[in-house]
Amino acid sequence: MSSPATIADEDGRPASPRLELDTTELRKLDRNVVWHAFSQMSNYDGLIIDSAKGCWLTDIDGNRYFDGASSLWCNIHGHRHPHIDQAIRDQLDRVAHVTNLGMSHPITISLAKRLVDLAPSSLEHVFFSSDGASSVEVAMKLAFQYWRQCSMPEPKRTTFLALGSAYHGDTLGTVSVGGVSRFHSLFEPLLFPVLRGPCPDSYRLPAGIELEQAADFYLIEYRRLLEKHADEIIAVIVEPIVQGAAGMVMHPQGFLCGLASLCRDFGCLLIADEIAVGMGRTGKMFACEHESVEPDFLCIGKGLTGGYLPMSATLTSHRIWQAFLGSHEESRSFLHGHTYGGNPLSAAAALATLDIFEMERTLDKLPTKAALLRNGLDSLRSHAEVGDVRQCGLIAAIELVSDKALKTPLPWQNQRASQVCNQVLKKGVWLRPIGNVIPIIPPLSATETELEMLVESIEFGLS
């Protein structure tokens, strides 16, 4: 049944007042004109969200859904948080955009200072971009240029060492360092070669290796690669602690600090891609803090603006910064930039997001919430198809398998995880599967009651 999209939102306001299209027309246009990311458009049937508040999304028919994927892992303090809303409105009354090519704005400068104060102490400079992939590309290009301009140049360094099943974004540079074959293999002819180590997986351990030995096992392989190629490697690039798009693969404890120490031993730079795991997701503001790692580059995005506006940042050290200083004739500048890098509206949202971390003691409250989620999800382990339940902070995932003992992955083609998520949707919870893995990534502001409801809904979806 077609109906005008005029249902009221939580505050009693009519939905999207500017909409003249009825819900049937909207669905038709959304299927036939809008090209959705990571979606098969021949049978596309996604929700159309009209408004949101807290952890809840309301669609154009007035149905409410708990945002169990944090709007693709970026919402932190809930939707329409009054403090972020006000910060954006206040900024809008001053100026919406100021280019960062030769100009700046106080709010962007304040954000840079605040990020530097929060990040590991050696990171003292901030390059702003608009999305996660760009911030990783910035780190990669800065690292490449660094070796050509540092006091003892090493121009033979032309390759990156990346992890198995890595995901760093969808631009060609980040796809080159990526290693999820389902997403990346088609583009192989367009990519530059990289060195690749194993994926340090805590669930599918190598034969004969116990979890406690796993970090060392994987690090031996990384040491071997570094020994052989140290003088060719620009940087090692890693998603610290959890590899998101690989299916929330959790690294064995000690892998990250072991990798950082190998980088130091072999004189390579370390790029930490915290687009997915940064901004409190894992229980610390930055995932590198779990193992006291200070990378040469720290890439953050997604939750940086609380999930409100596009903004990402590449933080780096004074050592890297200095290699780019010089006279105009020396041409040492970083000739790279994004139109909206450092955008003041985004910066206002980011500063407000950081304020809320303090005002609401978000990280102090996280262990209790994480424990509650862990206990709830643990009860799902006995389900016949659940091969693994894994979690770090408020990143959790359930992996469905066809044989629990052998950990045989269900073929992604059979879309079992999608079926489960469709069932969960009937209970009013939105989750977005990756192959046969169901990521569970609620906003950090989710209440204990909401987390209990989330687990109950997943249980229903699996039954």
Ligand X SMILES: Cc1ncc(COP(=O)(O)O)c(C=O)c1O
Per 3-state DSSP, what percentage of the chain is helix, strand, and coil (rounded to 5)?
40, 20, 40
Nearer to ligand X, 133 or 234 (CB): 133
Residue 15 DSSP symbol: S
Helix (H) or strand (E) holding 300: strand 297-300
Q: How far is the CB of 428 from ligand X (least distance, A)?
A: 25
Helix (H) or strand (E) holding 122: none
Q: Which residue is nearest to ligand X (CB)?
A: 132
What is the distance between the alpha carbons of residues 454 and 66, in angstroms, rounded to a whole number?
A: 8
Q: Centre a 10 Å sphere on the Cβ of residue 62 and count the other Cβ atoms it contains.
A: 14
Q: How far is the CB of 401 from ligand X (least distance, A)?
A: 23
Residues near ligand X (CB under 6 A) are 131-133, 136, 167-169, 239, 244-245, 273, 275-276, 301
Q: How far is the CB of 119 from ligand X (least distance, A)?
A: 17
Q: How far is the CB of 245 from ligand X (least distance, A)?
A: 5
Residue 280 DSSP symbol: T
Nearer to ligand X, 139 or 233 (CB): 139
What is the distance between the alpha carbons of residues 98 and 424, in angstroms, rounded to a whole number?
A: 43
CB within 8 A of 441, min separation 6: which ones? 68, 69, 70, 73, 281, 394, 395, 396
Q: How far is the CB of 47 from ligand X (least distance, A)?
A: 20
Q: How far is CA 254 from CA 163, 194, 241, 250, in A?
A: 16, 24, 9, 12
Question: At residue 162, what are phi and psi to the nearest 5 degrees?
Answer: -120, 165
Q: How far is the CB of 135 from ligand X (least distance, A)?
A: 8
Report CA torsion sign: 289, 292, 293, 297: positive
Q: How far is the CB of 307 from ligand X (least distance, A)?
A: 11
Nearer to ligand X, 169 or 179 (CB): 169
